[in-house]
Amino acid sequence: MRFWWVNQNQTFDQEFRGGYLWSPKRNQNGARNQFYENMREVAPGDVIFSFRDQAIAALGIAQSYCYECPKPDEFGSIGPNWHPSAGWRVDVTYRVPYNRVRPRDHIGVLGPLLPQKYSPLRSTGVGLQGVYLAEVSRVFSEVLAGLIGVEAQELVSSVASASVPSPAVTGTPRIEEWEDNLQKLLAQNPAIIETEKLALIRARRGQGLFKENVMRMERACRITKVDNPSHLIGSHIKPWRDSNNEQRLDGENGLLLTPSIDHLFDRGFISFEGDGRLLVSPVADTLSLRRMGVATGDRVNVGDFSSGQRRYLEFHREAVFLQAAAR
């Protein structure tokens, strides 16, 4: 179990009511942001301290690993400058503490326990602008829980000894809705000729011109070895939803995969290094993977990739692959 601090001044009401955390994947300029990357490290059972208006507004327990999800509709105009691609979501059960502690009133005790790097607070105890999710130590959390009161202390101690149920980690309906909206915008774009629109829309499902382009690079599913094209999908390495129109049809942005392997790859349960080494997410259920024909050993290698595929795979590992740390 780990402990997290989330600054939620703008989005607390929406996230509290909806029972989740949500962040963009990247900064507006596409750069990585450690406070967003931390979303990929959260695991079920982790404790979350929600900070709003300079006080601890809620206590939370993570109910899922991180999964890909578009910006919630209820955010409205909040975050107009966030990176436009889909973000990360973690499902959370919240409770409101009876005692609303202001950390700056106790900074003499809490300050020395703050992380030296990626702290969520200034040395004065005021929240840092630009910080979303930060990890805090067990000692810091126990001291903070003591300040909040018995309910927080019991929460921390009970979670530490509890067994956490296996969560569902999909987010599939939200991603489908996100892609549906993108497809509608594409279909309504007068600047794109109809034949190109059709090719781009069929590419979303791994068919048509995109699949033909992928078949110039690939001959079979790298995991199952199935080589009959009628049983294979042209699977985007950089997801269709995150790609521009050129990338959506680029054969090097694809693999031929069976439907079950396509699901695992698209949802981030598996990925690949550029040299062909298979990566299995700690989130994935290894028994289910083996039943789908995925070997989960440390030395599984599916063969080298082209230079173009390697570039797309780097994006997949950084922005799709689920990397919650093993417990």
DSSP 114-132: S-SSS-SB-TTSPBPTT--
Q: Is the pTM of this model over 0.85?
A: no
pLDDT tens figures, 249-307: 999 999 999 999 998 998 889 999 999 999 998 878 888 888 888 987 778 899 999 99
Which residues touch 29 (CB under 8 Å, ≥6 apart)? none
Structure confidence at residue 84 (pLDDT): 65
- Using alpha carbons, select from 84, 60, 82 the residue that is nearest to residue 1: 60
Structure confidence at residue 161 (pLDDT): 55
Q: Where are the domains of the chain?
A: 3-161, 172-319
Alpha carbons 84 and 3: distance in angstroms, whole number: 29
Structure confidence at residue 324 (pLDDT): 61
CATH architecture group of domain 3-161: Roll (3.10)
Where b means 16+ CB within 10 Å and e means fewer, 7-46 reads bbeebbebbbebebbbbbbbeeeeeebebbbbbbbbbbbb
Ranges under pLDDT 70 in the chain: 83-85, 159-175, 177-178, 324-327
CA distances to 8, 71, 98, 165 from 4, rounded to whole Å, are 13, 21, 20, 20
Structure confidence at residue 265 (pLDDT): 93
**DSSP 8-state symbol, 136:** E
Structure confidence at residue 172 (pLDDT): 55
- Using alpha carbons, select from 61, 35, 57, 56 the residue that is nearest to residue 46: 61
Residue 179: in which H helix or E strand, if any? helix 172-187
Asked if 157 contacts 45 with a C-beta cutoff of 8 angstroms, the reply is no
Bridge-partner residues for 121, per DSSP? Answer: 127
* Residues composing the chain: 327
Tell me if residue 301 falls in helix, strand or coil. strand
pLDDT tens figures, 39-52: 988 888 899 999 99
Structure confidence at residue 170 (pLDDT): 46
Structure confidence at residue 326 (pLDDT): 43
Residue 36: in which H helix or E strand, if any? helix 34-37
Alpha carbons 314 and 51: distance in angstroms, whole number: 34
